[in-house]
Structure 1
Amino acid sequence: MFRKKVLLSTVVSMAFLGGTEFVSAQTNSDKPKEIKENLEEKFANVSPKLMSDNANPLLDFMFTADPTAVEYNGRMYVYATNDHQQYEKVGKDGKNSYEHIRTLVMMSSDDMVNWTYHGLINTAEVAPWTGVSWAPSITSRLEADGKTHFYLYYSNGGGASAMLTSTSPVGPWKDPLGKNIIDHSVPGVDVNNPFDPGVLIDDQGTGWLVFGAGKPKTIYMPDNARIVKLGADMMSLAGKISKIPAPYFNEASDLNFINGTWVYSYCTNWDERTEWPYTNIAKPTGCNISYMTSKTPLDPDSWKYRDNYFKNTGEVNVGPFTNNHTHFLKFKGKYYLAYHAMYLQDYFGTTGGFRNVGIEEMQVDEGNDVNIPMVTATFKGPSQLNPLNPFVLQQAETTGGTSGKVQFEAVGNVGNMVAKGKADKQCLMVRGADFSKKIPSKFEAKVKGKGKIDVYVNNLKGTPLVSLTCDEKEWTTISKKINQKKGKGVENIYFVFNGEGFLFDEWKFIY
């Protein structure tokens, strides 16, 4: 809602954009008090990315794990287990036993460093017959009705796999079956734990599902990974369930199709590698991600063990040792591996085993045999694919880093979130905004409640570029003039805001 009259005090605003000074109008009578608080120091210890060039973890205000991803309309949509639901239940001194998790997390990006939080898929409401929900896997396909349909599979506890559908990547989601797609009642499901589903649609439009987990009959015996062809409806099985002889298999099945080759990835177990039949391939380390390839995936003898390509994050000192779960896909001409590590435990003051999704660029040789070199987990993460445009409407829930105390709540359309303020100062940052061709003359934001936003560009030093004050009971778009001389650069933007019950929905600069 727009108000005809919004009373704002005139604020002296000065900041540096790409090394160039911005100056706005002022009067001596309403000159602001000198800012004595060191905001960089205040926010330095709340996120591994807010005050650095780090792009991992993707979201730094909540715990997430077990990622999957799908591309749609130029954005990568990532879905994850909501470890934060467990954390909220047991607290920082509790353990992540996964028993309280009944939601999945949604987020997306078009540049791989700024991520838009789309909220949660509440499986307890959508499919109330299910139990805990973990480890989603998603794919999509343009169907006869002219709509792209999204098919999301997930672990219904340790004993089954369920699925949901939507015609939007952010929902609303529906439960089309009202039962598990995979559990022990299905003929051929003879694995200990038929969970951790991985879904794929190949170049012929055929769906495939991999799943399984559990202790094998012997340490090496690879007999708990399974693959099955899906029916045309993606909700039924279209044939016999077959084995994938994955050595030292543990869990986290995933499937890709590259140049006529099925690529199966999985997490190895922790057992000592006492048996190893391959003379030219090194034994995989504990709890890493290994892969196998096949041209005829329903033939167990056709699968070849290739190598391991992602070590446990504890091996490379990105957090402590944890379990391992990955998904890789091609996006804008590059391959990316999504995974989880315990990035945020120190910042949240816990050692309970709470995880966060990160992402890395990876190399994949798409030749006839498909080859995947080693990928290493980092805090640095991928580079920004394209700069953020600050002159088009941007969502407050799109962030490259936060203060760690910011909360979000759903408002309006499905998948839309707004930042929710507290009494203390909080910070949202977006990375790599492009001011190189246009000079901002105004800043505007859609806000509600009582609070204030101070906008800094490049860093949090000095006085803000512009400040907005709000005291509105309804959603209001407030704008503030910036009288600048000149400015160029690609810079980070920091939004420092506070106010009890203050809501921040969207923003943009105007030139």
Structure 2
Amino acid sequence: MQVLEAQTVEEIFSNIQLKKAVKGLKDHNPVMTQRFGADPYALVYNGRVYLYMTGDMPTYDADGKLQENTYGNINIINVISSEDLVNWTDHGTVYAASETGAATWGANSWAPAAAYKNIDGKDRFFLYFANNGNGIAVLSADSPVGPFTDPINGPLISRKTPNCAEVTWLFDPAVLMDDDGSAYIYVGGGVPSIEKAANPGTARVAKLGDDMISLACDPQPIENVPFLFEDSGINKMGDKYYYSYCSNFSMKPEDEEKAGYNQGEIVTLVSESPMGPFEVYKPVLKNPEYFFGRGGNNHHCMFDFKGNWYITYHSRILEEAMDMNGGYRSTNIDVLEVKDGGPSVSKGTRSGVKQLSYLNPYDDVKAVTMANCAGVETRQYGEEAEKYGSGDMIVTGISDGSWISVMGADFGNAKPFELSVKLGGDGTGAIRVSLDSPDGEVLAYVPVEAMNGEVEDVFVSLKCVPEGVHDVYFTFAGTGYEFLSWRFIK
């Protein structure tokens, strides 16, 4: 590769205008900005939290006008993961439903839930989702990111399942893995009529079979779920079980005053048994409109990670930042307050949660591991990911002024002297690597020449020696090339 003169590269970047990020440089919400992701569900596995999200996809009419999100075209599930809740690795989109997805019999993939279980000495992963409002599918895999396949070639729960035909919306699954190894699934929602708004009777719970892809019993009604709308949630804290859901939008002011929560709010019930009976407990999260100004449905998941409790939920702050207004959702994470042993009131923020651990810049870091970005896209990388939708990913869509960043990289006192990056594609340009901001102290300039479609390692010497903890920014010039991974060498 021909090496560009340093001064030439500096001149290139002096004339480039940075792309504007859709969230603040220090904000952690939304957790992903390269595409939308709604109805988040958290799975904690081997020191990482994996988020599975409904793949909201903006649609436009023939004149290019943004259409309101009807969810009717959604058949993918987005997957990201993190070990620090700030830097998120993009694992792509599970091709979940329709003729091009794993569940070819289904039309849609809404509101995923995920679980894993050791079966015959091997961890198996299970992804449950709603086929619109008419039933629940289950996919399985040997990895939390897939490839996922359909082990039963049909619905796990449908309107033919006992006690389910009358459920208004047979959707929004949640799964509980209990301490004794048993598992339970919670589904349902909807208001049959305005007269039943106070107690719709549309929530269901069933014990899962040992294989996690069958039911061990018929689904049973969860009795007395006041003002249920949608969004099943389930958690065990101590020896109590907390069922959570979104309250419906038929609540009158007097209903709200008496109940102690508002319409469209996440509320909880408590029981000493996973199948109930449950009693009213506390509200935990107001509608996103309360915190961010734009409302809509409210969908959440509470999870325990590294000794602390968090709540992940969706809002519309990403579409607002993108000057869109169509009901397209993005995922946030905030601290879940726990009082008296149970979930309590939490707040939605743009700043998000604190970074739990530092990133190791001497590891091979996937370029799709990002805290923030502007003007880039990601795509599937490799035959398996391209076939199934999820797996390895690569940063693409690069253009002048686009950039990515990670937060809290700990260089320690090791005095690195070189940077290795893996690049591909046919384009040319350069990458500026800087500390703490896109125009911060420059660590290195990486010249980029055409790779003829291959991925190659490029090594460059550092202009200065980083020490301690810093954010790291990669700013791009040129186009037509792709970025797979990076690491510093000491």
TM-score by length of 2: 0.91
Partner residue, 1:287? 264
CA distance in 2, matches of 1:297, 1:35: 58
Query: Is 1:249 aligned with 2:228?
Result: yes
CA distance in 1, matches of 2:240, 2:434: 49
Equivalent runs, 1:257-268 vs 2, <5 Å:
257-268=236-247
Query: Is 1:371 aligned with 2:348?
Result: no
What secondary structure is seen at the aligned counterpart in 1 of 2:264?
A: coil
What secondary structure is seen at the aligned counterpart in 1 of 2:321?
A: helix
2:481 to 489, 492, 502: 502
Query: Is 1:470 aligned with 2:443?
Result: no
Partner residue, 1:393? 364
CA distance in 2, matches of 1:394, 1:36: 28
Partner residue, 1:361? 335
What secondary structure is seen at the aligned counterpart in 1 of 2:407?
A: strand
Query: Which is further off, 350-359 or 265-274?
Result: 265-274
1:138 corresponds to which letter in structure 2? A
What secondary structure is seen at the aligned counterpart in 2 of 1:296?
A: coil
CA distance in 1, matches of 2:255, 2:440: 61
Please say if residues 444 and 463 of structure 2, whose CA atoms lie closer than 8 Å, have aligned partners that are also in contact.
no
Please say if residues 41 and 112 of structure 2, whose CA atoms lie closer than 8 Å, have aligned partners that are also in contact.
yes
Cα drift, residue 107 of structure 1: 0.2
Partner residue, 1:457? 435
Equivalent runs, 1:46-195 vs 2, <5 Å:
46-49=21-24, 52-83=25-56, 85-87=57-59, 93-123=66-96, 124=98, 125-144=101-120, 146-189=121-164, 190-195=166-171
What secondary structure is seen at the aligned counterpart in 1 of 2:320?
A: helix
1:275 to 1:460, Cα distance in 2 relative to 1, 3 A: closer
CA distance in 2, matches of 1:434, 1:389: 6
Structure 1's unaligned 5+ residue stretches are: 1-5, 13-29
Partner residue, 2:392? 416
1:453 corresponds to which letter in structure 2? I
Partner residue, 2:388? none
1:179 to 1:31, Cα distance in 2 relative to 1, 3 A: closer
Query: Is 1:228 aligned with 2:206?
Result: yes
Partner residue, 1:18? none
1:212 corresponds to which letter in structure 2? G
Report how many residues are paired: 472
Structure 2's unaligned 5+ residue stretches are: 386-390
1:356 corresponds to which letter in structure 2? S
Cα drift, residue 99 of structure 1: 0.9
CA distance in 1, matches of 2:321, 2:254: 41
Query: Which is further off, 250-259 or 350-359?
Result: 250-259
Query: Which is further off, 69-78 or 492-501?
Result: 492-501
Query: Is 1:307 aligned with 2:282?
Result: yes
CA distance in 1, matches of 2:271, 2:12: 66
CA distance in 1, matches of 2:119, 2:61: 40
What secondary structure is seen at the aligned counterpart in 2 of 1:499?
A: strand
CA distance in 2, matches of 1:63, 1:387: 26
What secondary structure is seen at the aligned counterpart in 2 of 1:33?
A: helix
1:270-290 deviation digits (Å, cap 9, x = unpaired) = 1234776997xx432010100
Please say if residues 283 and 345 of structure 2, whose CA atoms lie closer than 8 Å, have aligned partners that are also in contact.
yes
1:341 to 307, 315, 340: 315
1:251 corresponds to which letter in structure 2? E
Partner residue, 1:491? 470
Partner residue, 2:188? 212
1:166-223 deviation digits (Å, cap 9, x = unpaired) = 1100001010111111111111113111111111111111110111112144221241
Segments of 4+ in structure 1 off by > 4 A? 87-92, 274-279
Cα drift, residue 43 of structure 1: 3.2
Please say if residues 210 and 226 of structure 1, whose CA atoms lie closer than 8 Å, have aligned partners that are also in contact.
yes
